[in-house]
Structure 1
Amino acid sequence: MITLRKLFVLLAGIAALSATPAQPQTVGVMDKPCAGLPGAPADVAAYLAQRAAALGRHVSIAPPTAETLKRYTAWQAVLRESDFAALCRYQAENALLPAAGHHRVVFFGDSITELWRLNAPELFTNDVIGRGISGQTTEQMLIRFRADVIDLKPEAVHILAGTNDIAGNTGATSLPWVEANIQTMVEIAKAHGIKVILAAVPPAARFSWHPELKPAATIMAYNRWLRHYAARQRITFADYQAILDDGHGGFAASLTGDGVHPNASGYALMTQQARRAMARARAKQTLARSRNRALSVSMTPTG
């Protein structure tokens, strides 16, 4: 039996709930987890747009102000906490893609791949798709490998990853850990019948955001492992270290603006190398299909 007092308390509670606006859910399982992600602060968005336009024109712009950089860093920290692997980054773009053709290639990586689309848009035509995200490490890329590679059903994937692991963007790591992430991506791709082009990361003698690190020797060791692993797996290897190196483990000054990312000239060389790698990967596939057909014919009973 509900007494008058209990009824009053119940009605007061309902009134309080009605007066308090519902707070949007930001954690846990949701139907649309990407809907609640914060957009870039206005000054950050404006600077990123200016930077993208400048890259497209192959010109440089002044670095962001200290306040803009502070707000960018805070915004990125929130995004990493809410969407560690940046699964939301290409979700809408992926949904709008047409069905994959027979020669779709996904270029998968970090900022070097992301900026490639701006510096060499002619490469990203005829179903060649860029899926790079600035600052990402291989552990983040592994999480989004299904959404941004497997689900797009490409013929081949070009994997260029590891620079930000060496820079410590998501904390301390080791080369065996980074290599394990690469191996897992390659194995997943091969299990889905996707050809792999494994790329050496560009050289770097210094990271401006972690100037205490001396990455040149680590990058060279990592690239040696990538080359040997690609050979063992019989997959195509694209050696960008060889064409961008200054001879001492650093980035050739004429091919970069910051010692880490290629400039227009650097991307032009990388584009030539990438086209050759894609042609080699397709040739391998054609040869494998010819061998399989020949084997099938030889095993067919006669008479």
Structure 2
Amino acid sequence: MPAFRIRTLLLALVLIAPIASAQDHAAPDQPRTDQPRPDQSRPEAIDPLYTAAPSSLAPDDIASLQQRLADWPQLARYREANAHLEAPKPGERRVVFYGDSITDNWGRQQDTAFFPGKPYVNRGIAGQTTPQMLVRFRQDVIDLKPAAVLILAGTNDIAGNSGVSTPEMIEDNLRSMAELARAHHIRVILASILPVSDYPWRRGLQPADKVRALNAWIKQYAAANGAVYLDYYSAMANQDGGLDAELAGDGVHPTPAGYARMAPLAEKAIERALSH
């Protein structure tokens, strides 16, 4: 056989072998796409598409994943609403509530009200983590020209919604959002993460101590950097470091009673921030 044909055959074998190996030896902890998908009505459900072995994905799955990853921070969610939002009126002190599903559901969940008559704007997105929020911070906060921003974020990082996050990673993202706000003369309110003893979409993480530790950092950072610390945690935590069913039916997302307890705390924090 001519030498060039031998080299061509060897090159083909080298290229094909890893593909076959990946197909035959997929990691055991990577879910296959023929497994039942999580209930997507749960905002923080983690779709196996994000963790499946590439070789196990069908063409339709790949197209769906590419579409989602094309807007990973979900900039499209509020783009049109932002375009139609008028600039604050003279003397109006707009406040942006910025967060994940706990913010997103406020006023959108049945029997909850989002501060009627107040110039407050809800820019929460269910399931989001702090890196996603940092990416969309300019579009969904700075460009709205608020007097203050109330940031409630980090619990989905602890849950691992967008991969493993260390405490330092979460702190860096919160710090960056606060610094961006201050650079644009926006007062900063940093809210404590709500208590949680277990995530219903990812059981067994035992997050209570991680939540306490992150809240301690948020409180210290706020005090050292002129931000207002909004302590939801102390007003809502039970003895296990979680939320009673009255305040959060699934242990994470507030009920109307939960939001009713949070509302006056938020109002006091906003008053403090705007009075400085």
- TM-score clears 0.5: yes
Could you say which structure has the higher helix fraction?
1
Matched to 1:118, the amino acid is R
1:97–1:220 Cα change, 3 Å: same
Match of 2:229, SS?
strand
**Which of 73, 89, 100 is 2:77 aligned to?**
89
Match in the other structure for 1:209: 201
**Which of 226, 231, 240 is 1:239 aligned to?**
231
Cα RMSD (Å): 2.4
Residue 76 of structure 1: CA displacement?
8.0
**Is 1:153 aligned with 2:141?**
no
Matched to 1:94, the amino acid is N
Number of aligned residue pairs: give it: 220
Residues of 2 paired with 1:151 and 1:129: CA distance?
12
Identical counterparts, % of pairs: 45
Q: Which runs of 5+ in 2 are unaligned?
A: 1-38, 52-60
Q: Which runs of 5+ in 1 are unaligned?
A: 1-46, 52-62, 285-303
Match in the other structure for 1:15: none
Matched to 2:103, the amino acid is T
1:142–1:124 Cα change, 3 Å: farther
Query: Once the two structures are superposed, what CA deviation does each residue of 1:26-52 show, in whole Å capped at 9, x if it has no partner?
Result: xxxxxxxxxxxxxxxxxxxxx99xx8x
For the Cα contact (< 8 Å) 2:106–2:114, is it kept in 1? Answer: no
Choose between structure 1 and 2 for higher RCO, CA contacts under 8 A separated by at least 6 residues. Answer: 2
For the Cα contact (< 8 Å) 1:206–1:214, is it kept in 2? Answer: yes
For the Cα contact (< 8 Å) 1:246–1:253, is it kept in 2? Answer: no
Match of 1:95, SS?
helix
Query: Once the two structures are superposed, what CA deviation does each residue of 1:266-300 show, in whole Å capped at 9, x if it has no partner?
Result: 0001111101111111122xxxxxxxxxxxxxxxx
Residues of 1 paired with 2:221 and 2:116: CA distance?
27
1:227–1:282 Cα change, 3 Å: same
Structure with greater Cα Rg: 1
Match of 2:107, SS?
helix
**Which of 182, 187, 191 is 1:195 aligned to?**
187
Match in the other structure for 1:227: 219
Match of 2:190, SS?
strand
**Is 1:105 aligned with 2:95?**
yes
Higher alpha-carbon deviation: 245-254 or 74-83: 74-83
Match in the other structure for 1:296: none
Match in the other structure for 1:57: none
Residue 247 of structure 1: CA displacement?
2.2
Match of 2:106, SS?
helix
Residues of 1 paired with 2:204 and 2:64: CA distance?
22
Residue 78 of structure 1: CA displacement?
5.1
Residues of 2 paired with 1:191 and 1:127: CA distance?
22
1:158–1:76 Cα change, 3 Å: farther
Matched to 2:236, the amino acid is L
Residues of 2 paired with 1:283 and 1:213: CA distance?
40
Match of 2:105, SS?
helix
